[in-house]
């Protein structure tokens, strides 16, 4: 996740890395690849990689193969999953009669079709992070951080967003860890109050999965199994890590233009581009 307007190295790097990945080779078999003008983000969902673009949601199925998911080419800015449901925010497809911004929309068929959940025409979340029924979003228009305890049906305003990333507990409602000024802040009540987690590492990204917390600091990927109190080093790469995205089945990191994936919770990685 990143702050409003998808700013920061995370999104910029994703655009560079994925474009480089897709253009690697003389021919492309990616469906409608030539029509993709802008890539906002990439998310790992279970064992798949999904590309969020200005012209819809795509699945990256090979180095030169990006497949359009569904027919609704909405401009997806924010994206996350809650259970088997996809949740997204952004703007309607060109020529659509759907209000702009689209608010929060939901898909229960893997992105093939979408239905409105809330805030239609009111909010443009440029990031979404969630687990269980907890959902956080940063509105690019107001700069506000918002929280929903019921999978996006109703929302509470938490004030101006000052976090660069949020990891939501997959086990405890209301519990999350945010990054602010490279430091970790723990909440147990959906950011009504926070406690600083003491450590000497400077973090840029964080993910919370059933197997533990995963975080990036410089060239190194770390793991914690006690809510960030202590960390173990999983892997150190040749350059600074640009991206971290993970599910319980698959993890992705980037180093410069190179993309690596792991199927064993970050213990080892395979370079895919």
How high is the pLDDT of residue 257?
75
Q: What is the pLDDT along the chain (273 residues), one digit of tens a residue?
A: 444 334 433 444 444 444 444 444 333 334 533 446 677 878 899 999 998 888 899 998 877 678 999 988 999 999 999 999 999 999 999 888 899 999 999 999 999 999 999 999 999 999 999 999 999 999 999 999 999 999 999 999 999 999 999 999 999 999 999 999 999 999 999 999 999 999 999 999 999 999 999 999 999 999 999 999 999 999 999 999 988 999 999 999 889 878 789 999 999 999 877
How high is the pLDDT of residue 219?
97
How high is the pLDDT of residue 209?
96
How high is the pLDDT of residue 136?
98
CB proximity list for 218: less than 8 A, separation 6 or greater: 202, 240, 241
CATH architecture of 4-271: 6 Propeller (2.120)
Domain ranges across the chain = 4-271
How high is the pLDDT of residue 36?
61
Residue 47's alpha-carbon distances to 142, 251, 261, in angstroms, are 34, 9, 10
How high is the pLDDT of residue 268?
97
The answer to whether 219 and 258 have CB atoms below 8 angstroms apart is no
DSSP string, 179-219: EETTEEEEESSTTSS-EEEP-S---SEEEEETTEEEEEETT
How high is the pLDDT of residue 23?
40
């Amino acid at each position: 996740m990143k702050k409003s307007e998808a700013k920061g190295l995370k999104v910029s790097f994703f655009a560079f890395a994925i474009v480089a990945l897709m253009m690697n080779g003389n021919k492309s078999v990616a469906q409608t690849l030539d029509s993709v003008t802008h890539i906002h983000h990439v998310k790992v969902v279970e064992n798949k990689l999904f590309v969020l673009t200005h012209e819809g949601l795509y699945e990256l199925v090979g180095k030169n193969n990006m497949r359009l998911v569904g027919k609704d080419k909405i401009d997806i800015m924010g994206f996350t999953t809650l259970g088997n449901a996809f949740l997204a925010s952004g703007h309607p497809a060109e020529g659509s009669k759907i209000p702009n911004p689209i608010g929060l929309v939901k898909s229960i068929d893997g992105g093939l079709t979408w239905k409105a959940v809330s805030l239609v025409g009111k909010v443009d979340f440029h990031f979404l992070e969630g687990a269980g029924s907890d959902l956080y979003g940063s509105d690019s228009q107001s700069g506000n951080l918002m929280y929903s305890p019921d999978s996006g049906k109703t929302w509470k305003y938490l004030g101006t967003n000052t976090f660069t990333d949020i990891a939501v507990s997959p086990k405890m409602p209301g519990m999350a860890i945010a990054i602010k000024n490279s430091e970790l802040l723990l909440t147990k009540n959906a950011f009504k109050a926070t406690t600083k987690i003491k450590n000497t590492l400077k973090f840029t990204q964080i993910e919370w999965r059933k197997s533990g917390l995963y975080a990036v600091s410089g060239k190194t990927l770390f793991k914690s199994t006690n809510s960030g109190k202590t960390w173990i080093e999983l892997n150190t790469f040749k350059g600074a890590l640009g991206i971290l995205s993970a599910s319980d089945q698959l993890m992705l990191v980037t180093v410069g233009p190179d993309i690596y994936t792991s199927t064993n919770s970050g213990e080892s990685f395979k370079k895919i581009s």
